Structure 1
Amino acid sequence: MTDADERAPVAERAAVAERAARAGGRVAHDRFRSDIAVESKGEGDVVTEADRAAQRTVIESIRESFPADAVVGEEGDEAKAVPDEGAAWVIDPIDGTHNYVRDIRVWGTAVAAVVDGEPVAACTVCPALGDVYTADGDGAYRNGDPIAVSDVDDPLRATVDPTLWWGFDVRDEYANACAAIVRRFGDMRRFGAAQVTLPTVAAGGLEGTISNLRANPWDSVGGVFTVRQAGGRVTDLEGNRWRHDSTGLVASNGALHDEVLAAAREIEELD
């Protein structure tokens, strides 16, 4: 990679992220609600040829502009960790594959541009919902219109999502996450796709989302950046600024972050 590649303007990276996510999203949407074979990658994890085809398309689109950048992707042989130095792209071709294979429209194709370990641009395309979330150096947007986190500051008016997937060996933690939410907040949603959940926080549809787990970068980096650019706050379980290698993911509208963080900390403490 050249120094010029790393210094490419954020606006250029944002445009490429959106172009690539839209291209991958079209591939995935063309196969949605079709008779597509579903394979297991392990406990509770599934994949389809649509995931692989969409990722190939996303990478091809990125390579047109940034042929030497590192790529971090969920499928195949791509890197699985975000480098702390240099430029990289973080890809989830279909976040919410469980929804996808059950013909539920809540899924998205997510692409984030990262420089020296920090996201600088992101796009999540949700073709079946008709929404495109983008974030750049100036803000966050849905379908081109600026978005902002909600201003709700009363927990009893708030809705929070328990995000990521708890394995069968820690289902008590999944139950605790739900219990912590329903005890503290007005309502709960679970979308089953972190890269849709996080932009929904950014757009004010949720006041927060919590997990005690370490998120895969493709499930989180772009959405976290979108929340921050919309005025929200994202931390780990200790309340420190979230990074791609953090344990726990706590995103909120900011006004309720202490309450959302307290709920996340209860996940491993509730009886």
Structure 2
Amino acid sequence: MTKAFRSLLFVPGARADRFDKAAASGADAVIIDLEDAVLPGEKDAARASALSWLASYMGAASAGVRINSPRTAAGCADIAALDALSRKPAFVMVPKAETAQDIEIVAEALGTRQIIAVIESGRSLSNVYAVAHEAGAGLLFGGADYAASLGADLANWDAMLLARATIAAAGAAAGAATYDVPFLDVADMAGLEAETRRSKALGLSGRACIHPGQVALVNTVFSPSVEDVAHARALLEAAAAAQAGAVLFKGKLVDRPVILAAQRLIDRAGG
């Protein structure tokens, strides 16, 4: 499994005054957005500001950039500008990832597999397993565009369940992290928590955010609790002592998949 972030905070590429604030928000990763958050006439200026900041950024949070679709002129300009940087961002997010070839083209052009592919249409969902194997840094559910392309309701959990579950499964098959779409109602913290807990239960690795006020809650949901860590440690100790493929632990027969899940939880908690 690739490194998974709990939270990824989007910041508009046209708002350079917000870049440092986003990096200091507590998010595991910051995404400078050159796509949806930037008007067509501001693309060149936003690209220059974003790449200048990324080239000198030395903060703790991972910092990446969402380029425009590689199928567009703006996306090709983004790729060319990134290729000229001597110091590349931590990852590149590729929107409108319709096929594995979209990711392959960006990866070859930039010489990196640190790419997060955005799955945001019926076509991209149909190709998500192939896309996941090319996107070395993971998958993001682009729920707003996906819902619009289907005429579906993004706010309806059941309507989006197939897409979320398919992305989670594709990520697991490729060993790639998977991230949920941002929760758009920034004032509804109870709704954010409830939906994020459902996302975690599906197997998604983390969640994108559109406001710094969402970050702490998302981090909390995707962080193993003290009780979970203690349980996992005890299970691993019991398995090690038994020296067998399965072990009776707290009245339940636990086998290798459960033991591996406990190890992943410990790894995510930092050992």
Structure showing the higher helix proportion among its residues? 2
TM-score, with structure 2 as normaliser: 0.25
Structure showing the higher strand proportion among its residues? 1
TM-score, with structure 1 as normaliser: 0.25
